Chains A and B, each alone.
Chain A
Amino acid sequence: MNARAGWRHSLAMYGKLVRMSLKAQLQYRTSLYLSVAGQFAISVVEFAGMLALFSRFGEFRGWSLAQTAFLYGLVNMAFPVADAISWGFDSMGQLVRTGNFDRLLVRPLSPVLQLFGMELTVRRIGRLAQGMLAFGVACVLLARSPDSFAYSFADRPLAALAAVVSLSAGFAACVSVFTSLFWIRAAFTFVTVEGLEAVNALTYGGQQAAGYPLSAYRKFLQLFFLAAVPVGAVIYLPACFALGKPGIPGLPAWSLALGPLAAIPFAFLARALWSAGLRRYASGGG
């Protein structure tokens, strides 16, 4: 099988696995609908909290409600997507403990792909809907104040196009960074069996942190989310570029648009950790 056919085969298999998982989840309809509603409720209170604080304080460090909700919406759409595709990584602890991970290893398909295919978690639509709500509110508000974007397609079409491309790439990169974090946590399962729950501080904490402008945090935390776990770099910087915010003082504006690239080394780091873990994996279950 040449490389291209291999890819096509893998994608087809992934599609099959996802279809199966969707079918399984749709077996318990009422339970599923309630779970979606629950996920929506638990996340929408966060946005409600943001709205309440805007009504008290007026603005957030120079960011308007529209601008903050724009960033918050993007992050809160990216995170549930990553969360939905990464369910298999979540169950690694159990797979390793029970020895069921061995079954993945003997199948003629990459174990990572099989983990991705274990479940596409439908109930994450609840949080996704919350992110879309925030993003929608932001877009309506931004459309009403025409100068809130730094570039307009009429004046500077190239810069506006760059902003759109950078934001789209930033969204994908944000999904990638969160997925990489789930992947890293799964990689630790080979060592700790339990999985490293402490990584949750980075996944859920990163999601919480990236929803607000990075300028809110002390320098060391900003640096952390720009360079170490780049959830800030991939989405905050493009948002700054589009909204005409300084981002990182001293850097030229165009460089902010390149933020999404930070997802690439981070994904490679996750892959390296996973391979290192897999190499030392010794089945302990049965």
Chain B
Amino acid sequence: MRPYLAAFRARARTVFRYRAAAAAGMFAQVAFGFILVMILESWYGSAGGAPAPMTMSQTAAYVWLGQAFFAMLPWNPDPELRDLIRSGEVARDLLRPLDLYWLWFTRTLAWRLVSSGLRCAAILAFAGFALPRLGMVDLALPAPAGASALACFAVLMAMAALMSASMTVALSCFQFRQVSAAGITAIFAAIVSFFSGLTVPLPLLDGPIAAVAGLLPFRALADLPFRFWSGAIPVNDAPAAFLFQLAWLAAITAGGRVFLNMQLRDLAVAGS
């Protein structure tokens, strides 16, 4: 266990050093959230159509949490793993008397946790405290629906972080075969963005696409925990949500290990 903890801490410290970059990214996140929440407010204000399954306040919570924890989603492969593979330094990692999968998993988890941790506080503060004081209560992030709702949110977010790390490692493994995996990465990012609820809150979808979104694992990364925060899903449903996450986490981790081992079986180390 100790070497993995050390890997986690080392990575966390490196990411923490890029606080300034995180601050700049935050600015964009606040702007996106602001624009998105106003667009959704306009949708809610439009006449006609089916009534929305979430209140505007719950939708605002959904949007702001999405922006705050944006960096935790498995958008992109871990740049550090990419460099390891490109430079051939992956060979050094293979020599370590450690399980490569879990080593990479802990590093990636540290990266996701610290980079979203650096961003989320200021975004949550802006959306939760500054906006109401600027006279925009309707657009603001509401407080959690209750202490138990907040607890459910916290547990599900922790699970979401683990799921995100396992997806990121799997995604990073594509780098073994491609000179530039930018294409695959972007396609994956599109899927994540849509089916986690970041593009449009999932409860607002209708028909077959909503059914597909309900089955895929991506909603467990954002949509599920966010709805517990605002009380759009009652606390009683938390065990089912947790089991959904657990099942997918097990499946993705197992699949990721197989995928990594497949890549390593006939690995030719490039670089010098």
Contact = CB atoms under 8 A, between A and B. Distances in A.
A55 B25 CA distance: 33
Nearest to B195: A45
A205 interface: yes
Contacts of A49: 194, 199-200
A59 B41 CA distance: 13
B46 A61 contact: yes
Interface string B1-44: 00000000000000000001100110110111011101101111
Given A60-B43, A61-B45, A197 B21 contact: yes
Interface residues of B, number: 47
Contact of A41 (B27, B49, B179, B187): B187
Interface stretch (B93-101, B202-210, B222-230): B202-210
The binding surface of chain B is classed by DSSP as helix
Contact of A208 (B32, B179, B189, B194): B32
A212 to B, nearest CB: 5
B35 A45 contact: no
Nearest to A35: B183
Contacts of A215: 42
Contacts of B185: 38
Contact of A198 (B28, B43, B187): B28
B118 to A, nearest CB: 14
B240 interface: no
Closest 3 CB pairs of A and B: A34-B183, A38-B186, A197-B24
Interface of B: 20-21, 24-25, 27-28, 30-32, 34-36, 38-39, 41-50, 52, 136, 178-180, 182-187, 189-191, 193-194, 199-200, 204-207, 209
Interface of A: 28, 31, 33-39, 41-46, 48-49, 52-53, 55-62, 123, 194, 196-198, 200-202, 204-205, 208-209, 212, 215-218, 221
19 contacts: A31-B183, A34-B178, A35-B180, A35-B186, A38-B187, A38-B189, A38-B190, A41-B186, A46-B199, A48-B194, A57-B43, A57-B50, A194-B21, A196-B24, A201-B28, A205-B28, A205-B32, A215-B42, A216-B38
